[in-house]
Structures are given as C-alpha cells and as structure tokens.
Chains A and B, each alone.
Chain A
Amino acid sequence: EDQVTQSPEALRLQEGESSSLNCSYTVSGLRGLFWYRQDPGKGPEFLFTLYSAGEEKEKERLKATLTKKESFLHITAPKPEDSATYLCAVQEGAGGTSYGKLTFGQGTILTVHP
C-alpha cells in the first residue's frame, strides 16, 4: 500500500530563514509526486508535479526536488505570506487502482514570523 510521510509536522521560521520540508514515499511505480499548499478553510492549491528522480521545479521562493525515495520542498528567504500547510501526495502508476487517486501525507504546518 502506498505510504507518504512528511516531516517535520510543524516548522516555525523567521522571515528570511531558508529551510526544507521532506516527503518520503513508498509506492509501486510512481506516476507523479505532487506538492500543494493549503490555507485554513480552503482547498489545496497546486504547486508542483514531479515525475522522475532528478527532476527539479521552481516557483518564486519554492523549489521542489525528487529522488527515488523522497522529495524536498526548499523554501528560500520565506515571507509571512508563505505560512500555510504544505501537502505532498503521490499517484501510483499501476493501472486501474491508480485512476484519480492521490495518497497524501499528513502535511507540514509552516509558520513564518516577521
């Protein structure tokens, strides 16, 4: 069964203090790994999709990387508006049981203090 573990559960940073969030996964054939941001009371907002080990994607202060066992979300010089819960999810690439199904980690709650 697919498993996704995110660490740390919560992270407090000062504005400008760079850090990384980790997502470890176990899946039978990876179709894709997804990062989302979720603000309280809202639906997850799509950030990145990664498909193969070695792939990297960047958007503003965020950079996502992927290996065969884990993904990192690097946050460079964060601002208070980056405070949110960051969710990692995987989609298995093994046919029918994978259709439309994302398996999510529990998320990392990021708080950035001014």
Chain B
Amino acid sequence: KAGVTQTPRYLIKTRGQQVTLSCSPISGHRSVSWYQQTPGQGLQFLFEYFSETQRNKGNFPGRFSGRQFSNSRSEMNVSTLELGDSALYLCASSSSLTSQETQYFGPGTRLLVL
C-alpha cells in the first residue's frame, strides 16, 4: 500500500503571498490531519478533516484553512504569509473506522517564507 504523499516537497514564498499544500492519504483512509512543525514549538495540530468536513481545529489564526475532497485528498491554504509561518507542514491519515486511530504521516512540505 502506498503511503501518505504530499506535494510540493519544498516551497519558497515571500511575505504576504498565499500558498496551497496538498496531501493524498493512504488508500481507504478517510481522516486527514495537518500539523505544523517548527524547532521552537515542535509538532502542533492545525485541523482534521473527515468525509469532507472539518471535525477539529487547533489554535491557529484564520489565515490557516483547509478542505477535503470526496476522494479524501486534502489541501491546506495559508494566506498572507508571515515569516513565522516557515515550517515543515505534515499531514497524517488514519482510517478512523474504530477507536484505533493510528495516524500515518507523509514526508512533509518544507515552507520557507522570505
């Protein structure tokens, strides 16, 4: 089974721009979670989508948004980029069919904001 894939792997943007990141979950998985990883804050939860609905959201500003499509693929968008948004953005998928919700992570998208 193919793992979680994320595109692009690397991005360089300037302040004020917006960016869209994509995530394809493991086949059959319907839940996709997004995380931001920085050296100072570690891994922090952004939001989770299941069957095209956002079920949970972390403590990030409204500039961070996401969506999920009917094939479970997900995108996250960051508008009006700030220098502090430079980070590794990770998505993870799980089957969410039972209480055993192990999340499997993709390789991440490294975003650098200049």
Cβ of A31 to closest chain B Cβ, rounded Å: 7
Cβ of B98 to closest chain A Cβ, rounded Å: 11
A-B pairs, top 7 by smallest CB distance, nearest first, are: A100-B48, A43-B105, A100-B33, A99-B55, A104-B43, A99-B56, A101-B45
Q: Which residue of B lies closest to A100 (CB)?
A: B48
Residues from chain B with a CB closer than 8 A to the CB of A49 are 100, 102
B residues neighboring A (CB under 8 Å):
4, 31-33, 35, 42-45, 47-50, 55-56, 58, 90, 92, 94, 96, 99-108, 110
Interface stretch of the complex, out of A19-27, A58-66, A90-98 = A90-98
**Total CB contacts across the A-B interface at under 8 A:** 74
Cβ of A86 to closest chain B Cβ, rounded Å: 13
Residues from chain A with a CB closer than 8 A to the CB of B103 are 34, 46, 100, 102
CA distance A32 to B94 in the complex (A): 13
Q: Can you list, as one digit per residue, whether each of A44-57 has a CB less than 8 Å from chain B (1) or not (0)?
A: 11100101000000
Q: Chain B binding site: helix, strand, loop or mixed by DSSP?
A: strand
Kindly name the residue among A45, A89, A97, A101 whose own CB sees the greatest number of chain B CB atoms within 10 A.
A101
Interface range for A: 20 to 34
**A99 touches which one: B48, B105, B106, B108 (CB < 8 A)?**
B48
Taking A99-B48, A101-B45 as contacts, is the C-beta distance between A32 and B100 under 8 angstroms?
yes
